[in-house]
Amino acid sequence: MSKPKLVMVGNGMAGVRTLEELFKIAPEMYDVTVFGAEPHPNYNRILLSPVLAGEMKVQDIILNDHDWYRENHVNLHLGKKVAKIDRVKRQVIAEDGTVESYDRLLLATGSNPFMLPVPGNHLPGVIGYRDIADTDAMIDAAKRHKHAVVIGGGLLGLEAANGLKLRGMDVTVVHLGPWLLERQLDEVAGKMLQKSLEDRGLNFLLEKQTEALIEGESGRVAAVRFKDGMQIPAELVVMAAGIRPNTALAESSGIYCNRGIVVNDTLQTYDPKIYAVGECVAHRGIAYGLVAPLFEQAKVCANHLANYGIGRYTGSVTSTKLKVTGIDLFSAGDYMGGAGTEEIVLNDPAGGVYKKLVIKENKLVGGVLYGDTADGPWYFQLLKDGKDIHEIRDHLLFGQSTVGDVGHQGQNKAAAMSDEAEVCGCNGVKKGTIVRAIKEKGLFTLDDVKKHTKAASSCGSCAGLCEQILASTLGGAYQATASDKKPMCGCTEHSHEDVRRAIRERELTSIKAVTEFMEWTTPDGCEKCRPALNYYLISTWPHLAADDPQSRFINERAHANIQKDGTYSVVPQILGGVTSVEQLRKIADVAEKYHVPTIKVTGGQRIDLLGVKKDDLPKMWADLGMPSGHAYGKSIRTVKTCVGAEHCRFGTQRSMDMGIKLEKMLFGMWSPHKVKLAVSGCPRNCAESGIKDVGVIGVDSGYEIYVAGNGGIKTEVAQFLVKVESDEAVMEYTGAFLQLYREEGWYLERTCHYVHRVGLEHVKSKVVEDAENRKALYARLLDSLKGVKDPWAERVEGELKREFEMLAVQPA
């Protein structure tokens, strides 16, 4: 049976991105034909400015080379402009007479530069700024002529002016508005930008209206005349006064257009066989001219072309960044402010820094950064997440580093880093390597960067930094996704939040039920989503959902920690770090019997036996006769204690006892990530309660409970939750907090990240202020831990032991 035919008109970034998304989810579905009016394969149009400025070459900005089209069996017509769509016969006809039939048609015709309707706008030497041919024309003009005029002081105009100046021309930018980039900047930032561009030798004429372009003796343009009578020489005039959706083909075929080809939230036009994406589209009345929203459209459109029927495009908040080397400028959202908004401003004209954040009802709604844009992506993320910022308001303007979310080595200014600087300390990836991969391989997401460079793919502490590098390298093409909308993994569109909700509300109790109900694109998920799903199921439906060992990482399947050489480590439970002669003797005997090469005291006050072969594990566990210490799981780990009032002359509370009670209560508790506790007997805090998921500090009148501390990847000081008087209250509050985290946390999110996301206020409202809810949480925790067995004892004999047994070739 022959496949349905998909024809795409337009071979630009939005269209080809749609194909890429389509090939990812339904590679074999269509016979695909593409018409491109330009003679080039798909290239990165937003990098034309660096090409003009001489910083890159045309071949560097090709995104999909000819091989890509061949490998994906795309029938490619380059240099052929489509003249007509016959919607009755379902055919497209190119100017050269080429005819192709379609079952589905995708219009991605992009936009055209707006040519001012003034006399002389057709003269040689008058061009728009849109494609490789325009760029070549400018480079050529710069070799032979002296005076250039750029009409339009927007992003594109300024980038063109900068490039022409670098190529040796005298450049004047003519702008109708009162300041530059008035669609992206407020007046203060606009004036600062103008000053620094003037320092580079550019000239500006603001509030000038062009009246005519004057023809010279050669027939080429020679001058620009304004309404006020002023005239300046120009052998090159670049029109950068905006773009218009290219709807000529759609309109002539009777497809409804209104300042763009009108589409619904599935990117479908008024003809159901015809879809449209990109700059040619008007979605809810808006035609986007930046690449990031177009990629969002591409993803949704591909989903519908693949008949998945899910995903809606609901519009985009955009951010912009000017690609003029040496000038840092960032703006997003509602940067002008106005009624009902508040502004926080930092203005240092001498230092060349200006920052303005616009806040409405405790949420960031827009901002402009000039001179120091390192925090642009972070602000943009806050804006998209709609995060309540009142807790961090007092240092919001000073950036992410002041709110404790810094990357590796405290490095958080991606743009300021040299190419040689190491970004990922785990895998030794330098900034230059990441930037090169982004440019050469056409990467657009953090996930792409992780896959191609391995940066941020181990501990993840440099993910924020990688995201910044991505943002500063891509400029306007960078698109932050709201965190609660980020897909779990490549198998699904759904976020962790969506999946947790569906499991709860739809009462899904198996991985199969989740992946079927939520339309996973892979048959049985991947190494990223399966462990998450397994955790969500067993934590939401304890005693109901069955644990799936094959969906657990090896450490949790083998109940031991895998080491670099494939051996394992054994850490028996030593409650509260308090041991005995009997325990120590058993551990020593076992270590001797199995020739354990390394014995190490752990940070969690236990003893680690390292270098154990997998098939020895059950035998060792049997000989030890001690329960598992869970030193390997996304689970309760240890409760660290100091000696406390039992011995210490300063101790106010019996911290060892309290720690042992907590550790016993939490035995066998699975959680989104590992959970570590500590109990100190006095504020000297020898058990380091200040950097634990739950830290308890004894004081004379009772206990203080701190939560969401972290001593690992990102050192975070725990935050004060509540002060209580009795041991029972410590158990209840601790249990309730951990249960809240177990129910709301996303897989692999430590408590510090979880509380950072939901806010301490939220935690307090559920655990401290609402006694009934606290008791209910505590009861659910105890219920889910009811009947928990020691995993080691369960695996010493019987069915579960099979995991540890090797196979041998059987005699014939």
Partner 1 sequence: MSDWKKICTLADIPRLGARVVQNAGGDIAVFRTAADEVFALHDKCPHKGGPLSQGIVHGKRVTCPLHGMNIALDSGDAVAPDVGHCDKFAVKVDGGDVYLKI
Residues in contact with partner 1 by the rule CB under 8 A: 441, 451-452, 457-458, 522-527, 530-531, 549-551, 553-554, 558, 562, 564-566, 802, 806-810, 812
Considering the complex, what minimum distance in angstroms separates the CB of residue 449 from partner 1? 11
Query: What pairing do the DSSP bridges indicate for beta strands 636-641 and 82-86?
Result: unpaired
Q: By the 8 A CB rule, do 244 and 236 touch?
A: no
Considering the complex, what minimum distance in angstroms separates the CB of residue 619 from partner 1? 17
Considering the complex, what minimum distance in angstroms separates the CB of residue 806 from partner 1? 5
Q: At what angle do helices 496-505 and 529-540 cross, to 10 degrees?
A: 40
Q: Which is nearer to partner 1, 339 or 808 (CB)?
A: 808
Q: Which is nearer to partner 1, 71 or 228 (CB)?
A: 71
List of E strands, 598-729: 598-601, 607-612, 636-641, 675-680, 694-699, 702-707, 719-724
Considering the complex, what minimum distance in angstroms separates the CB of residue 809 from partner 1? 5
Query: What pairing do the DSSP bridges indicate for beta strands 568-570 and 561-562?
Result: antiparallel
Cα 401 to Cα 714: distance, rounded to the nearest angstrom: 12
Cα 341 to Cα 339: distance, rounded to the nearest angstrom: 6
Q: Which is nearer to partner 1, 415 or 526 (CB)?
A: 526
Cα 366 to Cα 320: distance, rounded to the nearest angstrom: 12
If one counts every other C-beta atom within 10 angstroms of the C-beta of residue 507, the result is: 11
In SS3 terms, 23-49 reads as HHHCCCCCEEEEEECCCCCCECHHHHH
Residue carrying the six token digits 């935050």: 719
Considering the complex, what minimum distance in angstroms separates the CB of residue 448 from partner 1? 9
DSSP one-letter string for 90-137? TEEEETTS-EEE-SEEEE---EEEPPP-STTTTSTTEEE--SHHHHHH
Query: Euclidean distance between the first and final Cα of the chain, in Å?
Result: 47
85 in helix, strand or coil?
strand
Nearest to 185 by CA among 367, 343, 380: 367
Considering the complex, what minimum distance in angstroms separates the CB of residue 453 from partner 1? 9
Q: Which is nearer to partner 1, 420 or 565 (CB)?
A: 565
Q: Which is nearer to partner 1, 97 or 566 (CB)?
A: 566
Q: Which is nearer to partner 1, 613 or 764 (CB)?
A: 613
Considering the complex, what minimum distance in angstroms separates the CB of residue 556 from partner 1? 11
Q: By the 8 A CB rule, do 618 and 574 touch?
A: no
Q: Which is nearer to partner 1, 320 or 561 (CB)?
A: 561
Nearest to 633 by CA among 673, 599, 598: 673
Q: Which is nearer to partner 1, 65 or 728 (CB)?
A: 65
Q: Which two tokens stand for residue 47?
A: 């990098």
Q: Which is nearer to partner 1, 581 or 812 (CB)?
A: 812
Cα 234 to Cα 149: distance, rounded to the nearest angstrom: 6
Cα 667 to Cα 784: distance, rounded to the nearest angstrom: 11
Q: Which is nearer to partner 1, 272 or 811 (CB)?
A: 811
Nearest to 21 by CA among 306, 316, 313: 306
Considering the complex, what minimum distance in angstroms separates the CB of residue 182 from partner 1? 42
Considering the complex, what minimum distance in angstroms separates the CB of residue 548 from partner 1? 8
Q: Counting Cβ atoms within 10 Å, is residue 315 exposed (0-12), middle (13-18) or buried (19+)?
A: middle
Q: Which is nearer to partner 1, 272 or 566 (CB)?
A: 566
Considering the complex, what minimum distance in angstroms separates the CB of residue 807 from partner 1? 5
Residue type, 438: I
Considering the complex, what minimum distance in angstroms separates the CB of residue 83 from partner 1? 39
Q: Which is nearer to partner 1, 330 or 632 (CB)?
A: 632
Ramachandran angles phi, psi of 645, nearest 5°: -65, -15
Considering the complex, what minimum distance in angstroms separates the CB of residue 810 from partner 1? 5
Looking at residue 501, what DSSP letter applies?
Answer: H
